[in-house]
Amino acid sequence: MSRVGVLVAMATMGACGGEMFDEAEVVEQQGLPATYNNRSWGGSDAKAGATAKAKSLGDPQPIAMTCCTSETLYGTADNFALPQDTTYVSPGFNSYLTSVGISAAIRGKFDEPGMDRHFVESLKFGERKEQIDAYCKFGVRLHLKSNGTYDSGSNANNDSAIIMASAGNANSVPIVAQSLGLHPTGVPYDHTFNLKPYSAQIGSKDFIDVRVQDDTSVDYVALVRGKMVPVNMCAISAEPASSLR
Ligand SMILES: [Ca+2]
Ligand SMILES: [Ca+2]
Ligand SMILES: [Ca+2]
């Protein structure tokens, strides 16, 4: 094949494959000597070059992918330091809490040091069902510590966390509840909810409402989102966590 013939073949392959490769790059991918690219085209060399290009374009290397997560923080990651940080309760969550007797007087804030307090916080988000389904991860991570056990009848070992969802003034609706289990007093730990299975219920609402009862302190709540990206892109694609209040 003449040199002109090789170049035409390259252009055709590039149009079909949708991607052109630099000649030197193609040669390097095939493990041929570095000096190959400096040799003159024609005769058997031209054929070898055409074969290398065709194999590279038709048999691309698989790209290793990973689920790369970013977190949006609600509250401040200050290791439960006082002063307590303010919580936000959506209108629908407030309606629900009032209806079940959780008045403002017994609601706890971030970094609550006491017992018998109900931590309540609403996380504003914007995704609908299809967007949540497209994430490789979507959930809530709670950073917690037990405030004590068997203190005047209170006990963090029987505490639980409840995820609800609300929109507008309509009462918040329950999504999933989990026991927090046994943890030593004062030792921080994480409890994570995977919320992808509930994308239909959550995706029709505007707030994810979090309730932790009633002898456990909450340092912060993180809304976790994950997207599939090439492994070497994860560090630069992750969004920094931000404190919304
Ligand atoms: Ca604080
Ligand atoms: Ca309790
Ligand atoms: Ca905190």
Please give the chain's pLDDT, 245 residues, in tens: 333 333 333 332 333 333 333 333 333 333 333 333 333 333 334 444 445 555 566 778 889 999 999 999 999 999 999 999 999 999 999 999 999 999 999 999 999 998 899 999 999 999 999 999 999 999 999 999 999 886 566 788 899 999 999 999 999 999 999 999 999 999 999 999 999 999 999 999 999 999 999 999 999 999 999 999 999 888 765 454 443 33
Measured in Å, residue 157 CA sits from the centre of ligand 2 at: 6
pLDDT at res. 73:
95
Dist. CA 214–CA 159, nearest whole Å: 6
Dist. CA 30–CA 61, nearest whole Å: 11
| Nearest ligand to the CA atom of 143 | 3
Q: What backbone phi and psi angles, to 5 degrees, belong to 177?
A: -125, 145
Q: What tokens were used for 34?
A: 């570095």
Contacts (Cβ under 8 Å, ≥6 apart) of 188:
79, 80, 143, 144, 145, 219
Q: What backbone phi and psi angles, to 5 degrees, belong to 43?
A: 60, -140
pLDDT at res. 53:
53
Domains of the chain: 3-58 (no CATH), 65-237 (2.60.120)
Per the CB < 8 A criterion, the answer to whether 49 and 6 are in contact is yes
Measured in Å, residue 83 CA sits from the centre of ligand 1 at: 5
pLDDT at res. 22:
37
pTM: 0.72
Q: What is the DSSP string of 21-50?
A: --HHHHHHHTT--GGGGGSPPSHHHHHHHH
For the chain, first and last CA: distance in Å? 69
Cα-trace Rg, the chain: 28
Contacts (Cβ under 8 Å, ≥6 apart) of 25:
none
Dist. CA 145–CA 80, nearest whole Å: 9
Dist. CA 169–CA 127, nearest whole Å: 19
Dist. CA 26–CA 19, nearest whole Å: 12
Measured in Å, residue 189 CA sits from the centre of ligand 2 at: 17
Measured in Å, residue 197 CA sits from the centre of ligand 2 at: 28
Per the CB < 8 A criterion, the answer to whether 219 and 110 are in contact is yes
Measured in Å, residue 144 CA sits from the centre of ligand 3 at: 10
Measured in Å, residue 143 CA sits from the centre of ligand 3 at: 9
Q: How far is CA 174 from the centre of its chain?
A: 22
Neighbours of 45 (CB within 10 A): 14
